Amino acid sequence: MSSAVGRKWPYWGYANLYNLEAGEQCWLGNVIVSPDYRGQDAALFLIRNMITAARH
């Protein structure tokens, strides 16, 4: 599962999960934030969304 965020290209961030299967473990892959959005909790937003996705 991947998530890119922003209203249009270029997106301000990207994150992904590997081996996401119901009831099993998975791994957080890349968390990439555009330099223009660093220091604004963009990575925290992405990670929280990946955690929510992994739990559901």
**pLDDT digit string, tens, across residues 1-56:** 556 565 665 678 889 888 877 778 889 989 999 998 899 999 999 999 888 888 88
Quote the pLDDT of residue 6: 59
What pLDDT does residue 8 have?
64
pLDDT value for 2: 59
Q: Encode burial over 26-43: b for 16+ CB neighbours within 10 A, e otherwise.
A: eeeeebebeeebeeeebb
